[in-house]
Structures are given as C-alpha cells and as structure tokens.
Structure 1
Amino acid sequence: MTILYLWLEKYNTFENLNVNFGGRYIFNFNQIENKLEMKENPHYIDKFFDIVELNSNSEISLLTGIVGSNGTGKTTLIEVLRNIFTEKYEDLNFKFILVTKNDGKVKVLSNLENNLSIPTIGIRVEKNHSEKKSIIFISTIFDRKIEKSRDNEINLSTNYLLKNINMDSYESAKIRQDLAFLQFNNKHRLLDDVEFKLPEKLIVHILDTLSNEKIDKSLSLSDKIIDQKNRFIINIQYNFVNYALNIIDHWLEVEVLYKQDSRNVEKVRRLIDVKNEIKNYKSWDYLREQLNFYKQGKHNNINLLVNLMHFVDKIIDTTEHSKDFEVKIESDSSFSLSSNKEIFDFIQLYSKNVVGSRDFFGFQWRSLSTGEESLLDIFSRIFQSSKKTMSRKWSEEIIIFIDEVENNLHPHWQKQIVNHLLRIIKLLFKNKKIHLILTSHSPFIISDIPHTNIIMLERNGDISNVKENIEDLERTFAGNIHTLLAHSFFMKNGLMGTFSKEKINKVYSQIINSDRNELLLNRVILEKQINIISEPLIRNKLLSELENRLKLDIHDEILILKERLQNLENISYDKNK
C-alpha cells in the first residue's frame, strides 16, 4: 500500500493540512465545494526507487521525505498516519481524508460527516470505515515520549523498547539484535558497500548491581591481590552475590505484596533463608553448595540463580582454559570476546541464563563510533522488523516509517543512508511492496529524493503547514548540497554561524566607531581577527576599511609634523642649557 494524499482538519499545530506524498496523482481538498480534486503528477516515474538489478521479489513502491526544522511537526505527521491505520475512526479526535493505493486500486478513506465529491475514475470511497494496515515504526530517538502498543504495528522505537525494561537490559537486547543481523549479513553479504568496519570485538562489563543489603568486597580486593585475573574473578563473584540479593528482594516483594496467598508462606520462608545465607557469604564454593541445597524442582526460582551461577563458573573457567569461548580480561570488571561466533555463542548462553529482564552484564562494541553504532542499529532494527513480518499474516503491502533517519550520522554517511536503506529493505522483505517514509532535517537526505516526493513543513507562529510552492526550492534530486543548505528553508539569515557573525559585526563596529589612536593601539588584534575569516569578500572588505580609517589626510599630517618639530626643538633647547 502507498499513501497518496492526506487532508487534516486540525490536529496539534496542524490546521487545514494538505499533503501529497509523491504518487501518480496530486490531490487537493476544496473545502468550499466539499470536493476532492485530482490531477496527474507530471514528475511521477513508476518504480523509480525500486533497485531492479537486485535479485529480489519485493518492491519499493514509493519513497517520501518529510523535512522541516525542529518543532514543525514531522513526527506528529507520522503519528497522525499511525493513528489512522491502527485506531477506530470513531476514536480519532480529528477529521481527515486519506487517499491510498492498494493492489493497484485508489481508495479514499474519510471520517467526514458530509458526502465527499470525488473524481469518478475508478476511485472507491470508504467512509467511516476503519481499515487497519501493516505498518512499521523505527526511531532511534529517546525523548521519553510515551509509546503504546498498536494493532498491526511493529514498533521498534527506542521509546517503546525502553518502556518495560531498564537501560542495561535494552543494551543487551540491542547487542543480540545486532548479532543476529551481522550473522545474516555474513551469509548474504548485504553490506559489502558499507564503508565502516563491522564490529569484531565485544566488551562485556560486570554491572555494579544495586542492592539494599550490598555485600562489601573491599576486604577481598586487598593490596595483596595484585593479579588482575584474580581481581576480576573476585569482582564477578561478589557482583553475583549482590545480584542474587537484589533478585530475591524482588521475588519477596512479588510474593508478599501482590500474591498474598497463605500457600506461599513456605516459599517466602525459603527465600528468606536463602537470602540470609547469601548475606553471610563465606566463599564461592559454600554459596554454590547452599544454592544447590535450597533449589527444589524444575520451576523453583532458586534454580534460576543456580543456572546463572553455573554460567559465571563457565566464564571463570574460560579465563584459564579455552572452551566454549575465549575470554580476554580487559580490566578488573570487564572482558572481551573477539570473533562473531564466540560473541554469538556467549550471548546465546547468557540469554538462557540471565534472570528475567535484570541484566548481569553490560555490553559495548569496541572500535565503533557513535555514528557507526547508529547505522548498525538502524540496519538491525530493519532486519528485526522483517523477521517479525514473516511470523505474522500481513498483507503484501507495508508502510515503513523511520523517524530522523540521519540521527548521529556523519554527513558522509547521511549521503549514503537512503541508498543503503533501499537496498537492505528490498533484500530483507520478501514478497512485499514497501512505501518508505523518512523524516529528516538534513539536505543530504533531500538530495536523494525528487522534490515532488518531499513534504516540506514550516511553522508560522503556532501553526504548522506544508510549504505551499515547492517549486521555490527548484529541483532537489541530485541537488548540490551547498545550494540546498543555503536555501532559506534550511538556513534563515544565511549559512554563517551566529557566534562568528557577532564577532564580525563587533570588529566592523570597532573599526567604524573608534578614533585613529584607538585603532592604532588595537591594530594587531583587529588584523588577527580579520585574517582568520574564511569568506574572502568579508575579509578583504574589513581589511580595506581598517586601512582607510588609519590613513591620514593632509591637515593631520601637517599637525603631526609640527608636533614632531616642536618636540625636536625642545630637546635641542634642553641640551644647550
């Protein structure tokens, strides 16, 4: 399915919003006549974004860019579309007209009360008829915005993923998704044209577990223990002890506060006994013996701690003997794994043994910059969403929203991201037709999208709307980045930074308003400030102005010469006394 047009009466900062998405037809809602007007899009090229040379049975049917500065409503526009596709129309708090194309048929969806006059060329009207569509929402932005679960939506936004888990659990889940994508990529070579080096080393940190009754390890980590391996082993053992105390406190809270069942008395008593044994921690072997004693049955909670303890034992053993994976100790509280297979095997074992959503370890890719991690994050989320679509009975046509796709990316990668997305999406989504919608405020993204496929949002006061005449920007596709960036839509008041502009204005004011003696006194520092200006026109103009102000007219020269002559006469008179 592709979105062709949206009219929105009023929502948030939008009023009477008319949006075309770059399809075969251009629409406009004439409110006076209650009529939907339609004409051919003269710039439309069928399958323009579909990379046909890739051996895939999927199709990128349309690409749309939503651009604008912060606060213009890019994410809000996506929110409106997500609401239309996932909510019942009677539950929506706005009036709208939406034109889509599905299975080759143009369809008008609307919740307007009055009958809508539409063109009669094979367009079907469905009034007040909720039609849930398959959509994917991806965003790496974390701004604590509340994200809810929606029917027929795969939500892989950071806000949603962090909704029910803590940051450490999110990081470990993210690493697992990265690994799944990297393994798929190693087999199918999706990223051969990506220039950054894929990660080959994973740093694993022992998390400092917070506990109300934390066991102090300072006595064990005395100056006598100078071997880093032994310090590492003691660290991981004591962290397990505090982790176990934290977990048991959580289990007790659940049993006592929420279940309140007399049948749980024995379970609570057993947990308290285990907790007391852990608090009186004597040695690692003794703790293992006690946990094995208290575990009862396959589904007993204590059994989960026993399994995790066995996993920690495996790591300790691996520091001495290479078995399942090779651990290299990096510090007293961290170690590294150096091959994708070892990393994957380790994460698989860890996922099976970690207790619930409470992470025992933290993870970080070595040698990846923030931008490289962001790029890998986007790719792995797309991969994850493609796997989820295969497990659901979705229609062939899907809409993918990616919010602020250039987030944390260097301009060099911003130039490449659209091409990477089109290729990866086409290869990952089997038997699907995709409408990809990106939000951005980067001219690098815009240069890969024709101007008729760009929705330019601007804000005037409290109202946001689409820029009326998109031709003002001329052509954007394959456009010069400097030309696009210099356009007032991206940069009001020119390209120069505010700080440098204020400095230049201050220098100019000093040149104009100072007298000659002041200028002579400050000449060196003024010339230094002028000479670091990159723009030659401004630099030469200021130097010329400074020289002109320092020049003397004939009367000034006569006065200065008379003054010098008088000084010489005074000196001669003093010597002759």
Structure 2
Amino acid sequence: MEIHYIWLPEFKNIQGQGFNFSSKYIFDLTETDKFQFKISVKINPAYIPDFFEKDNIINVTAIVGQNGAGKSNILDYIKLSFPEGKNGLHVPSVVAVSYLKNGIEEKYIYVPNNFEVTGDELNDFKITSYHDLSINEAVHERNFYENTYIYYSNIFDTKIEEVEFSGIRNISTTSLLRQERDDEATQYLKTLPTLEDGNIDGSRFTIRKDSYDIYLDNELRRNIQFLLSPERNLIKFPLPEKLYLSLLETDLRYIRQDKDSNINSIYQKFLSSKLEHEKADPKRYFLARVYLGAFLNIIVKDKNFTSPSSLLPTISDLSEDIGLIDFVRSFFEKLPDVKYSDQTHGDINIPFLKTLADATLKFFDLVEQMLNMNELKVEGIQSIFSEPTYSVYYEIPRTLPASEEGAISLFRLLTLYMNVKGFSDFLSFTWRSLSSGEQSMFSLLSRFHHLKAHDYGKENIKPNLVILIDEGDIYYHPNWQKEFFEKTIEFLSTIYDQHTLQIILTTNTPFLSSDLPKSNIIFIEKNISDSSISVLNADNSKEDTFAGNIHMLFADAFYMQGALMGTFAKRKVQAIIDYIAMKEKTAKHENYRKTITIIGEPILKRKLSDMWIEAFGDNDELVLLEERIAEIKSKQK
C-alpha cells in the first residue's frame, strides 16, 4: 500500500493541512462548508516514472521547513495511526492510498463518515467512508494494514516513544533506550524467587544495569554484527577495523581524592608499586590494569552504594611476595564468603556477591585468553614527551565471509563486562577512527541491518515497508550530508530487496532538496506570530529543487529569513552601517575599518568600503586600498 495524501483537521500544531506524499498525483482538498469538502486529484505533469532507478522503491518524500514547524509531527501521526497494532486512525482524517494487486492499481480516498467529500476530477480514486477511525472496516476487500512501518531517528531527546506494537519497528535512539531498559527489567524479574502468594520476593532485589549502559552495549553489538556481514560492502564508507579497549580511571581518581580512606592507603603503599612491576610486558601490564580496574570498581561501589557490609576486611594478604594479579584474584575468590552481620539473625549470606565473583573471575580468564590467543592485540605508541604507551584492540576481519561465530569471544567479553561493572565503567570500547557524523551513519546502517538479519523472529515483516527517517543526517559534516541520500537509498533498497519501499524523510539541510524533484518535497512554513503552520500545495511556486544550487535552496526551501550569515556577523555589519551613517569618528573607528577588510562576501565588502570612503574621506580610502593590495599579493605567493 502506498500513501499518497493525508489531510489532518487537527493534530499537535497541524490545523486543517494536507500533505501530498505522491509524486504522480497532486491532491487539493478545500473546505466549502462545515464538514463539506471538495477534492481534486490531478496528474503531476513533472512526474518521472522510476526516477530513483530502484525497482523496489515506489516513492521518496522529504519534509522540509523551519525548526519548530512540525516536520516530525506528521511522522508521529503516521506512527500512531497506520500500523496494524493501533487499529485505527489517531484522529479522523482524509487519507488517499493505493494498492497494487496482480499489476493492477486500486486507488481509494478514505473519509470520515461525518465528512461529505466530493470531486469531479479524481483520476480513478474511489471515495469511501469509514466509521470510528477504523479505516480497515471500510467497504472494500483491501487490507489497510498490509505495510510494516520502520521508524529511525538518531536524536537523543526527551520525546516519549511508545512501546512497540504490531506493524511498526521503532529503531530510534529514544525507543531503543526504553526497549532495552524494559527488556532488562523483564528478564531480571523472571530470575527472582516468588513468595507463597505468588508475588516476587522483593528482599532479593538488587540494582541492575543502567539502561544507558545496556543501550551502548547493544549498539556496539549491532555495529560489530554489521561489520561481520556482507552488507558492509554495499556502500563506500570508511568503516572502522579496530575496536579499542581502554582503561578508565574514574574509580582511581575517586580513591585518590579520598586521602583518609583505607583503600587509598592500600593503593598508594601496595597496589601502585605492584602495577609498576608489570610494565615490562605490555600484555601483562594491560591484564594487571584490568584486574585493578575491576577491584577498584567494586570497592567504590561497596563504599558508596550497595553492599551492607564493607569488603575491606577480605583484604588480608599484602605481603611483598604477592603480585597484583594474584592479590586481586584472591580477593574475588574470597568474596562469596563475605556475610552481613545482623544482631537479630546473625551472619547472613549475600548471594549477589557470589554471582559477581564468578562473573568477574570468568571475565579475567577470558581477557587473558584473548590476549594469549592474540585476539586482543597490543600496539605501542611512541611519544617524544613521555615513555611509550600501549593500545589494546580487537581487529575486525577484513575479508568476507566473516561470521558472528568468529567473534564469539568478543560478544562474550561484552556480556561478562556488563555483568561485572558497577555504577561506573572501568573499561571503554570505542571506534577511534569515527567522527560524530560517521558514527551516526554507522548507527543507521547497523540498526537497519540488525532489524533485517536478527529481529525477524519477533514479527513477520510484511512485503511492503514504509520507512520513516527523522533528520537522519543531523550530525553529519556537509560533505557527508551530500552523500546521505544516495547512500541511504542504495543501502535500504539492497538489504530489503524482497520488499517494496516507500521512504519518508525529514531534514534541516538543503542537500536532500537538491537530490529530489520539487514534487517529492513537502514544504512547511511556520507563522512566527502564532506558531501555526501552512503546507504549500504540491504545485507551489518555489523554484525547482533537483540539482539546484545549495545556497539558493538554503535561502528558499529552508526559510532563512534575512541574510545568509550568522546572527552575530549580521549584528556587527549593522553596527558598521550605523556608524558610517553617523559620519563621526569614535574610538571604534579603527576596529570597524579592519572588520570591513575581513568580510568574506565580496559584494557586501565592496559596498561597505565605498560607503566608508564616502563618509570618512581620502585618508581612509588610501588605507583600505593598501590593505587590499597587501591581500592580493599574499594570495599570489
């Protein structure tokens, strides 16, 4: 099913506006009286069949406009109304769609049964009414819920995303955070014992992993799974080859600041020197730092948050003969024996300490095994200012076919680390070579790949997909924004090659406009006075956008009111104009004159220079000319 048109009477900041998603048809709905409307459907004379040259992409639409214009609101309406699990429209609206059955297109305009909608020019669209928001009960044999909707956004904000329901897959950052928190809580509650009345035994509850930590862990796993898949070669993109492991010193800094604590004394007098002894062997030194990091992590957690009994009494062997690794290992081996002493009940076991100790010892063993097997590699970094340092990394296989089984130890390492760490981290896992924009593109590729390759079991994804991408290029450098659309449709059309795709995007950049015909763009204008919006008709008078000049599009399509310069620069220029108009020299005279010489826009620079000379005479003209000559000579060198 393809969505062609949606007219909304009222939704968030949208009041009586129509959105034309079709590139083939131009819809126009006008209200002639209360609940009475006239609709027309015209063929778009600029329509080009197969414009995107992808057999499975039926259409692409971009929604553009100023910040706060409500670009994301129309995506929200689609999410809340069209998936099967919602079982009806969020608010009554006029919706035009088409179904392709055995090569024949069937076209419908659905209207609420209290609306009277007529039209003389409909181009084979049939008007049919529905009752109580349920379009699927309209009288015809087509299934309104034959699409699966996929929503992607990499924006981390305070927006509340609903839990997933049938017909939609939400892979936005906000939704993944919520899903992974809920999944973790559900799985954990299943492990707790129940009382005789069937309720969960709350006395056995302990604080679990933070939802943000779970999100980062799962995002990293999605990245790795994508890197190990053949799909990584679908687009030209500088994918990382090394996952770096770095020791964090958050807990160590905390302990150093607590100068009166016993653990600070133990570190200064014992642990610090023991760590120095391991420096000769880079692998051994990294392993020792992992041991120390895990040890300090649990001590800080015990001191500040969770344990009902101090763990320091378990630290007994501080002899010079024992090394740091053996010392920490002995500490965790004794950890299950720690008890909580209560005056009423005596010594009480602390079950989670045994679980933590077992996981930590397995974690230590796996790190050592991966170092010995060269799965974790160590490279030296020379410095002219200090002694050499070392980086530890896991190298992603460069040749395909690779498989996730080949990285099973890495996935196990991530799992164990999540079970071992406390409220703070002592290890970080990073792709060092990626900028924020590249990481954003990496996330998009990884999430869509994971959805295709790993999440099919949760729900049958239907043959027809509507993909909603909300400001997918938001963190990109302009060079990457130019590439975003081409790479995205290439990737999506390939991994979902057995599906038809309708893609709807929102954007704040002009680059997407230059990749699309004007009829594939929904322009939203915002009224500054009352924050209302207007959606321009599909046959609006704006300049053609496809292959358009980026600067012109920026001014036209994105409503940059006023000059195309920063507000600070605009204020400075206006101050110079006001100063020239006064024709009286002040203390700022020299600064203003120099400011004119550094203006980048040539026409503005020349005009201000002329105004300046006219106001302040020959001497200033000579100075400006000398500075201009010096500038030209410097460019010739």
TM-score interval, smaller chain: 0.7 to 0.9
Q: How does 1:244-263 map onto structure 2 within 5 Å?
A: none
Residue in structure 2 matched with residue 181 of structure 1 by the alignment? 226
**Partner residue of 1:426 out of 489, 493, 498:** 493
Within 1, Cα distance between the matches of 2:562 and 2:228? 48
| CA distance in structure 2 between the aligned counterparts of 1:513 and 1:153, rounded to whole angstroms | 64
The answer as to 2:153 corresponding to 1:139 is: yes
Q: 1:201, 1:336 within 8 Å by CA — same for their partners in 2?
A: no
Asked if the contact 2:37–2:117 (Cα under 8 Å) also holds between the matched residues in 1, the reply is yes
Counterpart of 1:94 in structure 2 is 91
1:113-262 aligned within 5 A: 113-114=114-115, 116-117=117-118, 119=122, 121=124, 123=126, 125=128, 127=130, 128-130=134-136, 131-132=144-145, 133-151=147-165, 152-163=167-178, 164=181, 165-185=210-230, 189-191=233-235, 193-194=236-237, 197-206=238-247, 208=250, 218-219=267-268, 220-222=270-272, 225-226=275-276, 227-228=278-279, 232-241=286-295
- 1:78 to partner: Cα distance: 0.3
The 5-angstrom pairing of residues 114-513 of structure 1 reads 114=115, 116-117=117-118, 119=122, 121=124, 123=126, 125=128, 127=130, 128-130=134-136, 131-132=144-145, 133-151=147-165, 152-163=167-178, 164=181, 165-185=210-230, 189-191=233-235, 193-194=236-237, 197-206=238-247, 208=250, 218-219=267-268, 220-222=270-272, 225-226=275-276, 227-228=278-279, 232-241=286-295, 280-282=314-316, 283-290=327-334, 302-303=354-355, 305-316=357-368, 318-319=370-371, 321-328=372-379, 335-341=391-397, 344-355=407-418, 361-387=427-453, 390-391=456-457, 392-460=459-527, 461-468=530-537, 471-487=540-556, 489-513=558-582
Instruction: Name the CA distance, whole Å, in 1 between partners of 2:125 and 2:611.
Output: 70
Partner Cα distance (2:127, 2:288) in 1: 70
Matches of 2:4 and 2:546, distance apart in 1:
20
AA partner of residue 73 (structure 1): G
Relative to 1, partners in 2 of residues 1:301 and 1:154: Cα closer, same or farther, differing over 3 Å? farther
* 1:419 positional shift: 0.6
User: Is the 2:359–2:420 contact (alpha carbons within 8 Å) kept by the matching residues of 1?
Assistant: no
Other-structure match for 2:630: none
Moved more, 442-451 or 336-345: 336-345
Computed over aligned residues only, the root mean square deviation of the Cα atoms, in angstroms, reads 3.7
Residues 214 and 120 of structure 1, relative CA distance in 2, 3 Å threshold: farther
Q: Secondary structure at the match of 2:229?
A: helix
Matched, 1:49 2:42: no
Q: 1:499 to 1:411 in 2, by over 3 A?
A: same
For 1:337-384, what per-residue CA distance to the aligned partner results, in whole angstroms no more than 9, with x for missing partners?
Answer: 151049944432224434559686432111211111111111112212
For the residues of structure 1 that align with 2:262 and 2:467, how far apart are their CA atoms?
A: 46
Q: Is the 8 A contact 1:415 1:444 kept in 2?
A: yes
Once the two structures are superposed, residues 20-49 of structure 1 have per-residue CA deviations (whole angstroms, 9 ceiling, x without a partner) of: 013422223333243443222222222222
Which of 39, 62, 68 is the matching residue for 2:59?
A: 62
Note the C-alpha offset of 1:84: 0.7
SS in structure 2 opposite 1:100? strand
Q: C-alpha distance in 1, partners of 2:603/2:509?
A: 28
Which one-letter code corresponds to 2:44 in the other structure? Answer: N
What's the CA shift for 1:327?
Answer: 4.5
Residues 25 and 44, structure 2, Cα contact 8 Å, conserved in 1: yes
More off after superposition, 98-107 vs 227-236: 227-236
Deviation at 1:534, TM superposition (A): 2.1
Q: Which runs of 5+ in 1 are unaligned?
A: 53-58, 254-270, 553-577
Distance in 2, matches of 1:247 and 1:499, equals: 47
Q: Report % sequence identity.
A: 25
Q: Assess, with a 3 A threshold, how the Cα gap between structure 1 residues 181 and 110 changes in structure 2: closer, same or farther.
A: farther
Take 1:69 and 1:487, find their aligned partners in 2: how far apart are those partners?
11
C-alpha separation between the residues in 2 aligned to 1:334 and 1:137? Answer: 41
Q: Measure, in 2, the Cα distance between the counterparts of 1:233 and 1:106.
A: 66
User: What is the letter of the counterpart of residue 358 of structure 2?
Assistant: V
- The separation in 2 between residues aligned to 1:158 and 1:38, in whole angstroms, is 38
TM-score, L = length of structure 2: 0.71
What one-letter code is carried by the residue in structure 1 that aligns with 2:556?
H
Q: How many angstroms does 1:475 deviate by? A: 0.8
- Summarize the Cα distance change of 1:523–1:142 in structure 2 as closer, same or farther, 3 Å threshold: closer
CA distance in 1, matches of 2:9, 2:591: 58
Please say which structure displays the higher CA radius of gyration. Answer: 1
Q: Which runs of 5 or more residues in structure 2 are unaligned?
A: 137-143, 182-209, 256-260, 317-326, 339-350, 382-386, 399-405, 619-637
**More deviation, 86-95/170-179:** 86-95
Shift, 1:223, TM fit: 5.2
Number of paired residues? 513
Which range is displaced more, 217-226 or 61-70? 217-226
Question: More deviation in 500-509 or 276-285?
Answer: 276-285
Distance in 1, Cα, partners of 2:84 & 2:302: 41
Comparing 496-505 with 402-411, greater Cα deviation is found at: 496-505
Equivalent residues of 1:99, 1:106 under 8 A apart: yes
Q: 2:7 corresponds to which letter in structure 1?
A: W
2 CA distance for matches of 1:88 and 1:3? Answer: 18
Matched-pair contact (CA < 8 Å) for 2:563–2:570: no
Q: How far off is 1:180 after superposition?
A: 1.1
Amino acid across the alignment from 1:28: D
Higher relative contact order by CA 8 Å / sep ≥ 6: 1 or 2? 1
Counterpart contact for 1:206–1:334, Cα < 8 Å? no
Sort the Cα spacing of 1:278 and 1:45 in 2 relative to 1 into closer, same or farther, 3 A: farther
SS of residue in 1 equivalent to 2:272: coil
Task: Report Cα offsets for 1:506-546 as digits up to 9, x if no partner.
Answer: 2222223133xx37x86644432211122233222322233
Q: TM-score, normalised by structure 1?
A: 0.78
Aligned-residue offset at 1:88: 7.0
2:149/2:168 contact within 8 Å kept: yes
